[in-house]
Amino acid sequence: MRNYDLDFLKRFSLIIGFLAVVTFGLIVLSYFVHKSLPGEVDPGVATRTAHRIAPIGAVYAGDTGAAAQAVAAAAAVASAAAQVAYGGTLDGSVIYGNLCAGCHTAGVAGSPKMERADWTARIAQGTETLHRHAIEGFTGSTGMMPAKGGNPALTDEQVIATVDWMLENLQ
């Protein structure tokens, strides 16, 4: 080999070595940069943040503002009604059939069956106590009743209507 070929190989080797070190350095740098970036934000956290920083109110002016306010109020009522269980029905038989029968038919967790004998001690406490226990929940020596039968979407009126229906239809 000639002298200039050896010089070329030395320089070429140095350049390749330098590029390998630079490549390795970039890989290590990208690893640390990737680790320092925050991860994706949980959608629940983003929703809570948006709700927390949303404006409290709005300003309505004149007839246009009143119309917009009426539309917003109607939308809020429709949204609230959509979140009520069983379409907001006050028919105790519907709610009992869809929710309460699961426990009160079999007597789960000491729940009274739809037989008058199981209810006599409870009826003696008064219907207001039965309503309160059904709404707020109850744990005692005779059994356990989850608040609103375990469905928090029920309104108090729906629970009261269902308890009253159950009392009327005891066998």
Q: pLDDT tens-digit profile of 76-130?
A: 777 766 677 777 788 888 888 888 888 888 888 888 888 888 888 888 888 888 8
pTM reported for the whole predicted model:
0.52
- Distance CA(81)–CA(158), nearest Å, equals 13
Does a structural domain hold residue 140?
yes
- Distance CA(120)–CA(125), nearest Å, equals 9
Task: Tell me which residue range forms the domain holding 22.
Answer: 1-32
Find the helix or strand (DSSP H, E) in which 70 lies. helix 62-82
**Burial, 103: exposed, middle or buried (Cβ in 10 Å; 0-12, 13-18, 19+)?**
buried
Give how many domains the chain has, as a whole number.
2
Does a structural domain hold residue 126?
yes
Q: Give me 35's structure tokens.
A: 């680790």
* 29-68 pLDDT per residue, tens: 999 988 887 777 788 888 899 889 988 876 666 666 677 7
Q: What is the mean pLDDT of the chain?
A: 84
Q: Which residues pair with 138 in a beta bridge?
A: 145
Does a structural domain hold residue 63?
no
Does a structural domain hold residue 68?
no
